A and B are shown apart, each in its own frame.
Chain A
Amino acid sequence: MYRYDEFDHKIVTDRVNQFRGQVNRRINGEITEDAFKPLRLMNGVYLQLHAYMLRVAIPYGTLSSKQMRMQAHIARKYDRGYGHFTTRQNIQYNWPALDRIPDLLDELASVEMHAIQTSGNCIRNVTADQYAGAIADEIEDPRIISEIIRQWSTFHPEFSYLPRKFKIAVTGHKNDRAAIKLHDIGIVIVRNNQGEIGYEVHVGGGQGRSPFIAKKLADFVPAEKLLAYLEAVMRVYNMLGRRDNSYKARIKILVHETGEAEMRRLVEEEFSKIDSSQMLNLPEAELERIAAYFAPPNYESLPAQSDSFETAKQNNAEFSHWVKTNLVAHKTPGYGIVNISLKPIGGIPGDATDAQMDVIADLAERYALDEVRVTHEQNLVLPHVKLDDVKEVYDILSNHELATPNIGLISDSIACPGLDYCNLANARSIPLAQEISTHFADLDKQYDIGELKIKISGCINACGHHHVGHIGILGVDKKGTEFYQISLGGSADEKASLGDITGQAFTEDKVVDAVDTIVETYLDLRQPEERFLDTYRRVGMEPFKEQLYAD
Chain B
Amino acid sequence: MPTKTHLIANGAIIDDPWVFIDDDLPLGDTPSIISLDRLKTEADALRSRNAKLGVVLRTDTQGKTKLGEDVRELAPYLDMLSIIAIDFPVYRNGRGYSDARILREEMGFDGELRAIGEVLFDQWSFMARCGFTAFEIDADIPLKTFNEALSELGEAYQPASDNQRGVLWRRHGL
Pairing of A with B: yes
B155 touches A10 (CB 8 A): yes
Q: Known contacts A38-B91, A283-B174, A286-B172: does B152 contact A239 (CB below 8 Å)? A: no
Distance in Å from the Cβ of A247 to the closest Cβ of chain B?
13
A235 located at the interface, meaning its Cβ lies under 8 Å from any Cβ of chain B in the complex: yes
Distance in Å from the Cβ of A243 to the closest Cβ of chain B?
5
Distance in Å from the Cβ of A359 to the closest Cβ of chain B?
36
What residues of chain B lie closer than 8 Å to A35, measured between beta carbons? 120-121
A283 touches B126 (CB 8 A): no
B144 located at the interface, meaning its Cβ lies under 8 Å from any Cβ of chain A in the complex: no
B13 located at the interface, meaning its Cβ lies under 8 Å from any Cβ of chain A in the complex: no
B172 touches A285 (CB 8 A): yes
* A157: contacting residue among B65, B160, B171, CB under 8 A: B160
B120 touches A38 (CB 8 A): yes
* B153: contacting residue among A18, A162, A277, CB under 8 A: A18
Give Cα A277–Cα B166 distance, bound, in whole angstroms: 15
Residue among A5, A158, A161 with the most chain B CB within 10 A?
A: A158
Distance in Å from the Cβ of B144 to the closest Cβ of chain A?
13
B154 touches A14 (CB 8 A): yes
Interface string of A1-15 (1 = CB under 8 A from B): 000010100110011
* A11: contacting residue among B66, B157, B174, CB under 8 A: B157
A277 touches B105 (CB 8 A): yes
Residues of B138-163 at the interface with A, using a CB-CB cut-off of 8 Å, are: 152-160
B156 touches A157 (CB 8 A): yes
The residue of chain B having its C-beta at the shortest distance from the C-beta of A151 within the complex is B157
What residues of chain A lie closer than 8 Å to B158, measured between beta carbons? 151-152, 156-157, 227, 280
Distance in Å from the Cβ of A281 to the closest Cβ of chain B?
9
What residues of chain A lie closer than 8 Å to B66, measured between beta carbons? 242-244
Give Cα A165–Cα B152 distance, bound, in whole angstroms: 24
Taking residues whose C-beta sits less than 8 angstroms from the other chain, chain B's interface range is 35 or more
Residues of A136-156 at the interface with B, using a CB-CB cut-off of 8 Å, are: 148, 151-152, 154-156
Residues of A271-309 at the interface with B, using a CB-CB cut-off of 8 Å, are: 273, 277, 279-280, 282-283, 285-286, 289
Give Cα A153–Cα B169 distance, bound, in whole angstroms: 14
Distance in Å from the Cβ of A23 to the closest Cβ of chain B?
13
What residues of chain B lie closer than 8 Å to A39, measured between beta carbons? 121-122
Please give 19 more A-B residue pairs, beta carbons under 8 A apart, in addition to A38-B122, A121-B94, A157-B127: A7-B157, A7-B167, A7-B170, A10-B154, A35-B120, A38-B91, A148-B168, A151-B168, A157-B97, A157-B125, A242-B66, A243-B93, A277-B105, A279-B105, A283-B169, A286-B169, A286-B171, A286-B172, A289-B172
Q: Nearest 4 A-B pairs (CB), nearest first?
A: A161-B94, A157-B129, A157-B126, A151-B157
A residues contacting B by CB (< 8 A) are: 5, 7, 10-11, 14-15, 17-18, 21, 35, 38-39, 42, 121, 148, 151-152, 154-162, 227, 235, 238-240, 242-244, 273, 277, 279-280, 282-283, 285-286, 289
29 pairs from A and B in contact (CB 8 Å cutoff): A7-B167, A7-B170, A11-B157, A15-B153, A17-B152, A21-B152, A38-B91, A151-B158, A155-B153, A155-B156, A157-B127, A158-B97, A158-B98, A161-B93, A161-B97, A162-B94, A235-B98, A238-B94, A240-B67, A243-B65, A243-B67, A244-B64, A244-B65, A279-B105, A280-B159, A283-B172, A285-B171, A285-B172, A289-B172
